[in-house]
Structure 1
Amino acid sequence: MTQDRAPRPFPDPLPIRDAWLSGNWTSASGDVHAGRLWDEDSVYRWERYLDHWFVEHAHDQGEPTPEKIRAWANSLVRADNGHRLSPPSRARAVSVVLSWYDHLERYHDLGPFRLPRRWKIIGVIEPNEPRKYQPWVTDALRTAADRFQGLPPAPGRGLAMQHPSRHRLACYLLLANLRPKQVTHLRLENLAPDEKRKILHAKIPLKHHADDTTVYNGTLPWPIWRTVQDFMTVRRYDDDVTGYDYGPVLTTRSGLPYKWQNFRELIRPIVASDPDLAEIQPPLQPDQLSHSKSPWNDWHLRDDGDLPAVDAQGASRGRGRP
């Protein structure tokens, strides 16, 4: 009578995952492999998805099924507001898990898992490309921000609230292709101006990160630093969360950080000051502006040497993590 072979125990996934995402790993046969390089933001998202999968399926990681993956993807919510992930985001999460098990099969002698293609698990997802404004719109917005004279006097609106620098700075940062959440999380202590070269070095929050603790090194257009200096003359701060030389660059009139959900209020007065921009319907959206071509062309967000240049597919060229 032949004795059934005991199933091979599933290994600790974290070392395998970390080696894989580092771009260099050793397979079960002892061969060393070099993988693709990705930008830091993609690495962060893959780690978040896989960490959640590892926790939810700690006891059955070696037994993935289309039904389990589908149920897991449909249960995912956004970290910032608790809303369910959009269909494209859920599809990306499924792709991450499928890539993970494909990696285990090919290089770690696990499986076979016999998982189907993504569309059989989550359905066909139409690409959701972000809307981008034409270059004349971003050029007009920059010109309007340059010329903006501030808010008109009104009861309860002091000189600090009338000052144009707060609204101008918000527009400039969007036009440098920072997302609204990145703008609200950009910190004053993470700015390092180079007066000689007229470049603003910055530690910029990752666009998909839930907070401002993970950053990458980049550069911003010099006019942004001049506007920061202008805003510092009226910037309020709260000793608990912000200070004179630390905390979010943009603060409210009470010195608190802005919520990115309210970001459109910052650019609305500048948009209203330009007749052509004011006629655009629906009104200009901050997130769509941040996706559009910057009027500073290739100056903004240049690589400082610590950040790999990223191509259109998300793969980075040169140094960096996968």
Structure 2
Amino acid sequence: MGRSRSRRRRRSRSRRRPIECGESDEDPNALFRIELLPGRRRDPYPSFDLLVEEGDQQVQVPHVCSRPDEAYVIRVTNDSRRHVACAVTVDGENALLRDGSLIVAPGDCRELQGYLVSKNFVGKEYVKEYRDFLFGKPKVIEESGKNEEPSMPYTAYGRIVCEVYEAELDEEVDSDQELRGQTTHYRGAGLHGSNEERLVPEGKKKHFMYSAVTVQGSRSTIANSTRGRWWVRGRTKLRTLELRYRELHTLMLLGVDRKRLGLEEEESAVKYEKKEEEDEKPKLFDDSQIETCDLTNEEGAFWTTETAPEKVRPVDVS
């Protein structure tokens, strides 16, 4: 059984096809895009191009507004005429298994919903387990006397990097070929665990820039078929895509207009609601009217309403 399977694999590898030729007249900067979505198959978050310092120069990097305790999805779009393999890192940590890649077909897009924690082949399907991306905050710690650096550099927080490589056709899996019994590969703390809590030393913490961090959310599963063509990452790097996320107050300090962030509409709605509540509240008294009670009436107390006298104007004493 093992020999026949390996023989089929050798035959399938021998049927390699040439890779699609690149387009010399196309701008590589416009062929690939990375976006953040609030959920699968939903509209992306609005992005804001901001100037940030990278070494001795300033570069323009798109930013999105992070929502605390909300999950998000990374979408990579390929508008070229070749298959590409994408290596995605979130907060400086690989989002895929080992040297795994996100393969995007020509003119297509792929969505990555979280950290890939396992991949197991079962018959003619392979099941992937994810831990959803979730906006959070790092834990602040006190610096030790030895000035030891944390396990993950604090400068990586709030950064999503996608390195786009040329994809190569590895093999084709026959329709009757099974991959049963393959070893499951785990990452980080395993399928049921979570990454170590990201730490930022208090002395080096910049709340202005590094107040947001991605943590692991709930678990989800996706099953894919093993039939068809299998692509792997090549050696040619096409482009590096970067997207950063910051909290609301940080984007305002970086110069993003309040109206673009939707704050004007939210504040006006709150003011309108407060005005309606004030209008609905009963008034305790009216300054323009005064009520008097006549206790000398033979029938008892008699109440009358009269116009209040004018208030005395202040006198200017020289």
TM-score range normalised by the length of the shorter chain: under 0.3
Compare the two structures and name the one with the higher strand fraction.
2
- Higher relative contact order by CA 8 Å / sep ≥ 6: 1 or 2? 1
Normalising by the residue count of structure 1, what TM-score does the alignment of the two structures yield?
Answer: 0.20
Quick check: which has more Rg, 1 or 2?
2
Normalising by the residue count of structure 2, what TM-score does the alignment of the two structures yield?
Answer: 0.21
Compare the two structures and name the one with the higher helix fraction.
1
